[in-house]
């Protein structure tokens, strides 16, 4: 199998980086490869690096770590180093002894074969894709049956940590910060859709996968479910339905047909969460309000109700026109028909403008006092 991997990789060295990845992903579907051990995993990743270097790319920088190094970095994965847990496994904060760098170390849950495939996809994807709004992969470990990924440490955690179930000591996100995060996340998605060749469908866009640095700059993370998008005459990619309930586009959930517009729908759900402060799915809500999109759709039809959709913790501290425009973008993204959804480039344009309009609460108060009401007027 190792020889087969190397042979295929080097036979593809004249193809674009992501086309090489496409061939490798075909290999990942092999049952023989799904049970591969350390040597075969490293042969796959390192062979891919060599092929890309010969093809003219010098941007492959993922480092190979030993399990001993990462155990030392996390003090043997002590519970007080644990900072998160998800479908892939547990995430620990650690310090690399060789560089003294603070990192996030994600350890694969070894139960099941799917995680191993996601591990390989993520290593390859993040070795090939580089953008300021994508999380930076520092390296990986494939010692024995151990599978770990090492990322740059994102100081403020995930967007989810700042929107839902906040502890009393955590500051609320103001309107300007929310628009900054939304615009940055959209730019990361735009890179995957429009700059990567062939395009990449993220397939797992949600608030918990948007990480924030100390200045609230967002970065997309967790690329284990990413797929190469359709090329040429193809309109979609057929695949097993994966992702998170509440974020999946309806046509993808029903048919398994995946397109770039599937990601746009997921982004629309995230944008609604940013605006409203509600969860995509919240079973604690009253009947009819469990599903965020289902709750929002009737309200989209009446601009007089737009102010009811703003997160109550904002306490009216937002630009009324900005709220209307942001909700309009979200409404277009979550259209049931994928052809009616905008391109992500158009979403970036709209949200970048909104992010550039810095909101001043004092000016808003003056305008409200002059109008004699804090309730937005209906424009004709």
Q: How many CB atoms lie within 10 A of CB 343?
A: 14
Q: Is 204 a catalytic residue?
A: yes
219 forms beta bridges with 211
155-to-159, 219, 253 alpha-carbon distances in Å: 12, 12, 34
Q: Is 106 annotated as a binding residue?
A: yes
Residues 175 and 232 sit within 8 Å (Cβ to Cβ): no
Query: How buried is 116 (Cβ within 10 angstroms: 0-12 exposed, 13-18 middle, 19+ buried)?
Result: buried
- 3-class DSSP assignment, residue 181: helix
Q: How far is CA 369 from the centre of its chain?
A: 41
- 3-class DSSP assignment, residue 11: helix
102 forms beta bridges with 95
Task: Give the contacts of 109 (CB within 8 A, at least 6 positions apart).
Answer: 87, 88, 89, 90, 115
Nearest residue to 145 via CA among 35, 45, 239, 58: 35
**Annotated catalytic residue, options 161, 174, 194, 204:** 204
Binding residues for ATP: 106
Active site (catalytic) residues = 204
Show binding-site residues: 106
């Amino acid at each position: 199998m190792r020889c087969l991997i190397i042979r295929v990789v080097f036979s593809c060295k004249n193809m674009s980086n992501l086309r090489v990845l496409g061939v490798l992903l075909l290999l990942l579907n092999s049952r023989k490869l799904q049970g591969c051990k350390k040597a075969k995993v490293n042969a796959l990743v390192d062979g891919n690096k060599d092929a890309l270097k010969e093809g003219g790319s010098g941007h492959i920088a993922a480092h190979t770590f030993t399990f001993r190094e990462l155990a030392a970095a996390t003090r043997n994965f002590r519970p007080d180093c644990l900072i998160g847990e998800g479908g892939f496994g547990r995430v620990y904060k650690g310090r690399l002894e060789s560089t003294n760098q603070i990192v996030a170390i994600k350890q694969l849950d070894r139960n099941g074969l799917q995680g191993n495939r996601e591990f390989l996809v993520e290593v390859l994807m993040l070795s090939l894709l580089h953008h300021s709004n994508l999380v930076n992969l520092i390296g990986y470990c494939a010692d024995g049956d151990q599978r770990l990924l090492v990322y740059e440490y994102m100081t403020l955690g995930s967007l989810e940590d700042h929107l839902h179930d906040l502890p009393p000591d955590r500051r609320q996100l103001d309107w300007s910060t929310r628009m900054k995060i939304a615009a940055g996340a959209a730019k990361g998605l735009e890179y995957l859709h429009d700059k990567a060749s062939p395009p990449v469908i993220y397939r797992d866009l949600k608030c918990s996968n948007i990480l924030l640095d100390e200045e609230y700059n967002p970065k997309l993370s967790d690329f284990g479910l990413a797929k190469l998008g359709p090329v040429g005459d193809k309109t979609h990619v057929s695949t097993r339905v994966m992702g998170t309930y509440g974020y999946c586009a309806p046509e993808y959930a029903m048919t398994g047909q995946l397109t770039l517009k599937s990601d746009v729908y997921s982004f629309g759900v995230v944008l609604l969460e940013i605006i409203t402060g509600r969860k995509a799915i919240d079973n604690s809500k009253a009947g009819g309000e469990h599903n965020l999109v289902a709750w929002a759709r009737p309200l989209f039809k009446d601009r007089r109700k737009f102010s009811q959709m703003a997160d109550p913790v904002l306490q009216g501290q937002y630009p009324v026109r900005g709220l209307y425009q942001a909700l309009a973008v979200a409404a277009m993204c979550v259209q049931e028909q994928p052809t009616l959804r905008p391109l992500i480039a158009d979403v970036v344009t709209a949200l970048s403008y909104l992010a550039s309009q810095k909101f001043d609460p004092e000016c808003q108060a003056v305008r409200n006092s002059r109008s004699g009401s804090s309730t937005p007027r209906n424009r004709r």
